[in-house]
Amino acid sequence: MNKDTLAKKISSGNQDMDDFLAGGYETDIVTTLFGPSGSGKTTLAMIAAVNVVRNKKKVIYIDTEASFSVDRLKQIAPDDFELILKNMLFLKPVNFKEQQKAFDKLRSLVNDSIGLIVIDTISMLYRLEMGQTKDVYDVNKKLGMQLSYLSEITRKKGIPVIVTNQVYSNFEEKDKVNIVGGDILRYSSKTLVELQCCKNSVRSLILRKSRALEEDKRFLFRLINEGIEKVKE
Ligand SMILES: Nc1ncnc2c1ncn2[C@@H]1O[C@H](COP(=O)(O)OP(=O)(O)OP(=O)(O)O)[C@@H](O)[C@H]1O
Ligand SMILES: [Mg+2]
Protein backbone atom coordinates (compact mmCIF):
# COMPACT_ATOMS: atom_id res chain seq x y z
CA MET A 1 0.00 0.00 0.00
CA ASN A 2 1.43 3.39 -0.88
CA LYS A 3 1.06 6.52 1.24
CA ASP A 4 -1.68 7.95 -0.98
CA THR A 5 -4.12 5.24 -0.09
CA LEU A 6 -3.66 5.89 3.62
CA ALA A 7 -6.62 7.53 5.32
CA LYS A 8 -8.28 8.39 2.02
CA LYS A 9 -12.01 8.77 2.11
CA ILE A 10 -14.94 9.12 -0.24
CA SER A 11 -17.97 11.25 0.50
CA SER A 12 -20.95 9.47 1.97
CA GLY A 13 -23.11 11.58 -0.34
CA ASN A 14 -24.23 13.90 2.46
CA GLN A 15 -22.14 16.78 3.83
CA ASP A 16 -23.37 16.49 7.42
CA MET A 17 -22.73 12.78 7.47
CA ASP A 18 -19.24 13.39 6.05
CA ASP A 19 -18.58 15.79 8.92
CA PHE A 20 -19.78 13.12 11.34
CA LEU A 21 -17.50 10.53 9.73
CA ALA A 22 -14.55 12.95 9.54
CA GLY A 23 -14.64 12.97 5.76
CA GLY A 24 -16.73 9.98 4.74
CA TYR A 25 -16.08 6.28 4.13
CA GLU A 26 -12.52 5.03 4.23
CA THR A 27 -11.22 3.64 0.96
CA ASP A 28 -9.12 0.76 2.24
CA ILE A 29 -11.57 -1.03 4.49
CA VAL A 30 -14.96 -2.69 4.45
CA THR A 31 -17.68 -0.57 6.06
CA THR A 32 -20.74 -2.46 7.25
CA LEU A 33 -24.09 -0.71 7.64
CA PHE A 34 -26.42 -2.86 9.69
CA GLY A 35 -29.95 -2.34 10.93
CA PRO A 36 -33.57 -3.38 10.59
CA SER A 37 -35.70 -3.11 7.49
CA GLY A 38 -36.50 0.50 6.64
CA SER A 39 -33.63 1.95 8.67
CA GLY A 40 -31.97 3.44 5.59
CA LYS A 41 -29.20 0.99 4.56
CA THR A 42 -30.01 0.97 0.85
CA THR A 43 -30.57 4.73 0.78
CA LEU A 44 -27.13 5.32 2.28
CA ALA A 45 -25.58 2.92 -0.23
CA MET A 46 -27.39 4.73 -3.06
CA ILE A 47 -26.34 8.25 -2.10
CA ALA A 48 -22.74 7.11 -1.79
CA ALA A 49 -22.96 5.44 -5.22
CA VAL A 50 -24.45 8.58 -6.81
CA ASN A 51 -21.62 10.65 -5.44
CA VAL A 52 -18.97 8.25 -6.73
CA VAL A 53 -20.39 8.39 -10.27
CA ARG A 54 -20.56 12.20 -10.12
CA ASN A 55 -16.84 12.03 -9.35
CA LYS A 56 -16.28 10.11 -12.59
CA LYS A 57 -15.91 6.61 -11.23
CA LYS A 58 -18.01 3.49 -11.63
CA VAL A 59 -19.86 1.45 -9.04
CA ILE A 60 -20.32 -2.30 -8.76
CA TYR A 61 -23.57 -3.01 -6.94
CA ILE A 62 -24.36 -6.56 -5.83
CA ASP A 63 -28.08 -6.47 -5.08
CA THR A 64 -29.25 -9.68 -3.43
CA GLU A 65 -32.81 -8.73 -2.62
CA ALA A 66 -33.94 -6.45 -5.43
CA SER A 67 -33.48 -3.51 -3.06
CA PHE A 68 -32.21 -1.03 -5.60
CA SER A 69 -35.13 0.95 -6.99
CA VAL A 70 -34.79 3.11 -10.10
CA ASP A 71 -37.73 5.21 -8.89
CA ARG A 72 -35.88 5.91 -5.67
CA LEU A 73 -32.76 6.78 -7.67
CA LYS A 74 -34.83 9.25 -9.73
CA GLN A 75 -35.83 11.03 -6.49
CA ILE A 76 -32.22 11.15 -5.33
CA ALA A 77 -30.72 12.18 -8.66
CA PRO A 78 -33.56 13.59 -10.82
CA ASP A 79 -31.25 15.34 -13.29
CA ASP A 80 -28.61 12.72 -13.89
CA PHE A 81 -30.08 9.34 -12.92
CA GLU A 82 -29.53 7.99 -16.43
CA LEU A 83 -25.83 8.80 -16.31
CA ILE A 84 -25.65 7.28 -12.84
CA LEU A 85 -27.28 4.06 -14.04
CA LYS A 86 -24.94 3.87 -17.03
CA ASN A 87 -22.00 3.88 -14.67
CA MET A 88 -23.32 1.24 -12.32
CA LEU A 89 -22.77 -2.41 -12.87
CA PHE A 90 -25.37 -4.59 -11.21
CA LEU A 91 -25.02 -8.21 -10.19
CA LYS A 92 -28.26 -9.73 -8.92
CA PRO A 93 -27.74 -13.16 -7.43
CA VAL A 94 -30.92 -14.98 -6.37
CA ASN A 95 -29.36 -17.73 -4.28
CA PHE A 96 -26.14 -18.28 -2.37
CA LYS A 97 -24.58 -20.26 -5.23
CA GLU A 98 -25.14 -17.28 -7.52
CA GLN A 99 -23.76 -14.96 -4.86
CA GLN A 100 -20.60 -17.07 -4.87
CA LYS A 101 -20.47 -16.76 -8.67
CA ALA A 102 -20.96 -13.00 -8.38
CA PHE A 103 -17.87 -12.87 -6.17
CA ASP A 104 -15.93 -14.93 -8.71
CA LYS A 105 -17.01 -12.46 -11.37
CA LEU A 106 -15.97 -9.52 -9.21
CA ARG A 107 -12.33 -10.48 -9.79
CA SER A 108 -12.65 -9.82 -13.51
CA LEU A 109 -14.66 -6.61 -13.02
CA VAL A 110 -12.41 -4.77 -10.61
CA ASN A 111 -10.18 -2.19 -12.28
CA ASP A 112 -9.03 1.40 -11.79
CA SER A 113 -12.31 2.88 -13.01
CA ILE A 114 -14.21 1.36 -10.08
CA GLY A 115 -14.77 3.81 -7.23
CA LEU A 116 -17.07 1.80 -4.98
CA ILE A 117 -18.33 -1.73 -4.43
CA VAL A 118 -21.66 -2.23 -2.64
CA ILE A 119 -23.01 -5.55 -1.37
CA ASP A 120 -26.66 -5.02 -0.42
CA THR A 121 -27.12 -7.28 1.53
CA ILE A 122 -24.37 -9.78 2.23
CA SER A 123 -26.37 -12.08 4.48
CA MET A 124 -29.81 -12.45 2.91
CA LEU A 125 -28.94 -15.40 0.62
CA TYR A 126 -26.50 -16.80 3.17
CA ARG A 127 -29.32 -16.94 5.69
CA LEU A 128 -31.57 -18.80 3.24
CA GLU A 129 -28.80 -21.25 2.39
CA MET A 130 -28.10 -21.90 6.07
CA GLY A 131 -31.72 -22.91 6.46
CA GLN A 132 -31.43 -25.52 3.70
CA THR A 133 -27.92 -26.87 3.71
CA LYS A 134 -26.56 -30.01 5.34
CA ASP A 135 -23.09 -28.52 5.20
CA VAL A 136 -23.15 -25.49 7.46
CA TYR A 137 -19.35 -25.52 7.65
CA ASP A 138 -19.03 -25.16 3.89
CA VAL A 139 -21.52 -22.26 3.69
CA ASN A 140 -19.75 -20.43 6.51
CA LYS A 141 -16.43 -21.03 4.83
CA LYS A 142 -17.73 -19.55 1.58
CA LEU A 143 -19.10 -16.46 3.32
CA GLY A 144 -15.74 -16.09 5.05
CA MET A 145 -13.94 -16.32 1.71
CA GLN A 146 -16.24 -13.72 0.16
CA LEU A 147 -15.50 -11.34 2.99
CA SER A 148 -11.75 -11.92 2.84
CA TYR A 149 -11.88 -11.22 -0.84
CA LEU A 150 -13.61 -7.89 -0.15
CA SER A 151 -10.97 -7.01 2.45
CA GLU A 152 -8.25 -7.89 -0.05
CA ILE A 153 -9.71 -5.72 -2.84
CA THR A 154 -10.22 -2.71 -0.62
CA ARG A 155 -6.76 -2.91 0.92
CA LYS A 156 -4.85 -3.60 -2.24
CA LYS A 157 -6.77 -1.45 -4.70
CA GLY A 158 -8.03 1.34 -2.44
CA ILE A 159 -11.62 0.76 -3.56
CA PRO A 160 -14.08 1.39 -0.72
CA VAL A 161 -16.54 -1.41 0.02
CA ILE A 162 -19.93 -0.90 1.64
CA VAL A 163 -21.66 -4.00 2.92
CA THR A 164 -25.19 -3.87 4.29
CA ASN A 165 -26.48 -6.40 6.73
CA GLN A 166 -29.62 -7.42 8.53
CA VAL A 167 -30.09 -7.90 12.23
CA TYR A 168 -32.09 -10.12 14.54
CA SER A 169 -33.18 -9.58 18.12
CA ASN A 170 -30.82 -10.32 20.95
CA PHE A 171 -32.96 -12.23 23.43
CA GLU A 172 -30.65 -11.71 26.37
CA GLU A 173 -30.38 -7.94 26.02
CA LYS A 174 -33.61 -6.63 24.57
CA ASP A 175 -32.25 -3.24 23.45
CA LYS A 176 -29.45 -4.88 21.46
CA VAL A 177 -29.43 -6.59 18.07
CA ASN A 178 -27.19 -9.24 16.55
CA ILE A 179 -25.75 -9.11 13.05
CA VAL A 180 -26.64 -11.98 10.73
CA GLY A 181 -23.45 -13.92 10.05
CA GLY A 182 -22.15 -12.87 13.46
CA ASP A 183 -18.45 -12.85 14.13
CA ILE A 184 -17.35 -13.51 10.54
CA LEU A 185 -18.97 -10.24 9.54
CA ARG A 186 -18.03 -8.32 12.64
CA TYR A 187 -14.33 -9.07 12.27
CA SER A 188 -14.06 -8.45 8.55
CA SER A 189 -15.34 -4.88 8.83
CA LYS A 190 -13.11 -2.18 10.24
CA THR A 191 -16.04 0.23 10.48
CA LEU A 192 -19.37 -0.94 11.80
CA VAL A 193 -22.29 1.43 11.59
CA GLU A 194 -25.59 0.60 13.24
CA LEU A 195 -28.82 2.14 11.97
CA GLN A 196 -31.81 2.32 14.24
CA CYS A 197 -35.37 2.96 13.16
CA CYS A 198 -37.39 5.15 13.96
CA LYS A 199 -38.82 7.74 16.34
CA ASN A 200 -41.13 10.14 14.48
CA SER A 201 -39.34 9.03 11.32
CA VAL A 202 -35.98 10.05 12.79
CA ARG A 203 -33.31 7.39 12.37
CA SER A 204 -30.07 7.05 14.33
CA LEU A 205 -26.72 6.16 12.91
CA ILE A 206 -24.31 4.91 15.56
CA LEU A 207 -20.63 4.14 15.06
CA ARG A 208 -20.15 0.76 16.72
CA LYS A 209 -16.60 0.15 15.59
CA SER A 210 -14.05 2.51 14.14
CA ARG A 211 -10.29 2.67 13.79
CA ALA A 212 -10.01 6.40 14.34
CA LEU A 213 -13.29 7.83 15.57
CA GLU A 214 -15.02 7.79 18.90
CA GLU A 215 -17.26 4.74 19.16
CA ASP A 216 -20.96 4.97 20.00
CA LYS A 217 -21.08 8.47 18.50
CA ARG A 218 -24.53 9.18 17.06
CA PHE A 219 -25.88 11.00 14.02
CA LEU A 220 -29.61 11.59 13.64
CA PHE A 221 -31.19 11.79 10.21
CA ARG A 222 -34.42 11.65 8.27
CA LEU A 223 -35.04 10.04 4.87
CA ILE A 224 -36.14 12.56 2.28
CA ASN A 225 -36.60 12.61 -1.50
CA GLU A 226 -32.99 13.65 -2.09
CA GLY A 227 -31.63 10.95 0.23
CA ILE A 228 -31.08 11.91 3.85
CA GLU A 229 -31.02 15.06 5.95
CA LYS A 230 -29.47 15.65 9.34
CA VAL A 231 -31.78 16.13 12.31
CA LYS A 232 -30.47 18.30 15.16
CA GLU A 233 -30.53 16.67 18.60
N1 LIG B 1 -38.83 9.86 -0.80
C2 LIG B 1 -38.81 9.35 0.42
N3 LIG B 1 -38.92 10.16 1.50
C4 LIG B 1 -38.91 9.66 2.74
N5 LIG B 1 -38.80 8.35 3.04
C6 LIG B 1 -38.69 7.51 2.00
C7 LIG B 1 -38.69 7.94 0.65
N8 LIG B 1 -38.57 6.88 -0.15
C9 LIG B 1 -38.50 5.80 0.66
N10 LIG B 1 -38.58 6.17 1.95
C11 LIG B 1 -38.54 5.30 3.13
O12 LIG B 1 -37.31 4.66 3.15
C13 LIG B 1 -37.44 3.46 3.90
C14 LIG B 1 -36.64 2.39 3.22
O15 LIG B 1 -35.29 2.78 3.28
P16 LIG B 1 -34.16 1.79 2.83
O17 LIG B 1 -34.59 1.02 1.64
O18 LIG B 1 -32.93 2.59 2.73
O19 LIG B 1 -34.12 0.84 4.09
P20 LIG B 1 -33.27 -0.49 4.31
O21 LIG B 1 -32.61 -0.35 5.63
O22 LIG B 1 -32.41 -0.73 3.11
O23 LIG B 1 -34.41 -1.60 4.42
P24 LIG B 1 -34.39 -3.16 3.99
O25 LIG B 1 -33.64 -3.90 5.06
O26 LIG B 1 -35.82 -3.54 3.96
O27 LIG B 1 -33.73 -3.26 2.66
C28 LIG B 1 -38.90 3.13 3.98
O29 LIG B 1 -39.31 3.36 5.31
C30 LIG B 1 -39.52 4.16 3.06
O31 LIG B 1 -40.76 4.56 3.52
MG1 LIG C 1 -32.30 -2.28 1.71
Max distance between CA atoms of the chain, in angstroms, equals 49
Ligand 1 atom closest to the Cα of residue 46 is 18
> Nearest C-alpha to atom 28 of ligand 1 is from which residue?
38
Q: Tell me, what's the pLDDT at 174?
A: 73
Spacing, Cα 216 to ligand 1 middle (Å): 23
Q: Is the CB of 225 under 6 A from ligand 1?
A: yes
pLDDT, tens digit, for every residue of 209-228? 999 999 999 999 999 999 99
Please choose, from the candidates 121, 124, 110, 117, the residue with its C-alpha nearest in 3D space to the C-alpha of residue 48. 117
In this structure, what are the phi and psi dihedrals at residue 135, rounded to the nearest 5 degrees?
-115, 75
Q: Is the CB of 39 under 6 A from ligand 1?
A: yes
Mean pLDDT of the residues in the chain = 93
Are 58 and 114 contacting, i.e. CB atoms less than 8 angstroms apart?
yes
Ion ligand 2 neighbours, Cβ < 5 Å = 41-42, 67
Length of the chain in residues, anyone?
Answer: 233
Q: Is the CB of 200 under 6 A from ligand 1?
A: no
> Nearest C-alpha to atom 1 of ligand 1 is from which residue?
225
Are 154 and 100 contacting, i.e. CB atoms less than 8 angstroms apart?
no
Number of domains in the chain: 1
Spacing, Cα 17 to ligand 2 middle (Å): 19
pLDDT of 3 over the 60 cut: no
pLDDT of 6 over the 70 cut: no
> For the ranges 5-14, 91-100, 173-182, which has the lowest average pLDDT?
173-182
pLDDT, tens digit, for every residue of 114-167? 999 999 999 999 999 999 999 999 999 999 999 999 999 999 999 999 999 998
Q: Which domain holds residue 86?
A: 3-230
Q: Which residues contact 179 (CB under 8 A, 6 or more apart)?
A: 32, 34, 123, 165, 166, 167, 185, 186
Q: Is the pTM of this model over 0.75?
A: yes
CATH of the domain at 101: 3.40.50.300
**First vs last C-alpha separation in the chain:** 39
* Res. 108 pLDDT band, cuts 50 70 90: very high
In this structure, what are the phi and psi dihedrals at residue 27, rounded to the nearest 5 degrees?
-95, -5
Are 230 and 17 contacting, i.e. CB atoms less than 8 angstroms apart?
yes
The predicted model gives 43-48 an average pLDDT of: 98
Ligand 1 atom closest to the Cα of residue 43 is 18
Q: Tell me, what's the pLDDT at 185?
A: 83
Q: Tell me, what's the pLDDT at 176?
A: 80
Q: Tell me, what's the pLDDT at 7?
A: 62
Q: Tell me, what's the pLDDT at 173?
A: 77
- Nearest ligand, measured from the Cα of 38: 1
Please say whether the dihedral angle defined by the alpha carbons of residues 3, 209, 124 and 143, taken in this order, is positive or negative: positive
